[in-house]
Amino acid sequence: MAEQYFSADPSSKDVRRTLHVQLRGRDTDVEVSNGVFSGSRLDLGTSVLLKQAPEPPEHGNLLDLGCGWGPIALSLAFASPEATVWAADVNERALELTELNAKRNGCGNVRVIRTDADAKPVDPTALSPDLTFDAIWSNPPIRIGKEALHTMLMNWLPRLSPDGVTYLVVQKNLGADSLINWLADALGDGYAVSKYHSAKGFRVIEVARA
């Protein structure tokens, strides 16, 4: 979930505009809105994640946790057209934009999931409880507070497949290093948590099955 997506007011007037962005080197036209995180540009944290994360798996289930208007989901869909890309967010407007942007860019493999305040699917039938993810990419909502953030991450990161890997981008001065330590303790011996890369004041955190 992108860094401030919970602070967006979904009842505010929906002012949309078309944005031209590069997603992992691919020129892309998308629609953005004031009602979602980073509603006028590609935010720096997501940009760092998209530049530094390795190629995702070609097949399987990939997750954009906190999709906003969809830059991560689109990047995963471009890279892995034979995979299913799941895009999760609490904000209905964000999900609408992600669906629209996926259709606009020919990404028929994107599926959206609306989540509640605990980051669980609002519709329990929308996602099988046994479904695991071969990759999870996220710019998580640090500003919602530690308890809510930890709840969100522990709802989704244990869904990694045996060979799955998560990449999270977190601003260094907003607690990236302490989050690495917390994840290692919370997930336990079955996971390896480490700093994968640093750039422009952000850490890219890698979480993999040990």
Residue 57, CA distances (Å) to 33, 52, 135, 161 in order: 30, 15, 7, 12
- Burial class, 20, CB count within 10 angstroms (exposed 0-12 / middle 13-18 / buried 19+): exposed
Domains in the chain, start-ordered, CATH in brackets?
5-209 (3.40.50.150)
From first to last of its 210 residues, the chain has per-residue pLDDT tens of: 333 333 344 455 788 899 999 999 999 999 999 888 888 889 999 999 999 999 999 999 999 999 999 999 999 999 999 999 999 999 999 999 999 999 999 999 999 999 998 889 999 899 999 999 999 999 998 877 889 899 999 999 999 999 999 999 999 999 999 999 999 999 999 999 999 999 999 999 999 998
Q: What is the pTM of this model?
A: 0.92
